[in-house]
Chain A
C-alpha cells in the first residue's frame, strides 16, 4: 500500500474519533448515516483548525439544488451522486490529491 492509507468509519461518531486521532487528507462522507449525519459531521470537521482546507466529498442520493446549497453552506468541497462507481470515486481522488 505504497503511501496511501484508507480508513473506514461506519457512521459519523466513529468518523469523528478517527479524524481527531489521525490527520486525514481526503474525506468522503455519506449524507445519510445513523447517529451523526453527514452534514452535521462536515460542519464539525470544518470547525477543526487542522481541517480548514480539507477536501470533503459528500455522497448523496439526490443532487437537487437545495441539497447542493445546504452542502456548500456546511462546507462540502464537492459531491458524488449515487449510485457511485469506482470510476467516479477515482476521478474525485485525482482531482483533490
Chain B
C-alpha cells in the first residue's frame, strides 16, 4: 500500500492554502471517485503525472469561486472574471503544490511532471487504466477543493 506517496501532496495543498489565503484547511474523508456520481463540483484542475517507482496521476481540482478567490488574494485585486489570468494563476498554484510535494517525496525514486491545466464544469478526469481514483476533499469556507489520486501500487502492490 503506497499511501506514503499521497501524504506529501496533502501536506503541500494544506500549506499552500495557509500561505496564500491564510485559510487553514484539513483533509476530509477520502472516497472512491466515480465520475458518474454527480456530487463533486469543480471547474479547473491541475494535473500532475508521476512515474518511476509508482505510476499515476495526482489532480488538484478547484471550483470557480475558489480559483477567483485565490487569484484575488495573490494579485491583491478583486478578480471577478474567470479569464486566462486566473487560469495562469491556478497553474502557478498547482505548480507550487507539486514543487512542495516533490520535497516530501525526495527519498523515493519518482519522476514528477510539470502540471498541466484543464478547465470546464466537472470536466472528465481519467486516472490510470484499471486503477481506481481516490478523492480527498478539503473543505474551505467557499466550498470544497479536491485532491484526486490514482496510483498504480495503491491497489496492486
Answer yes or no: A and B touching, Cβ < 8 Å: no
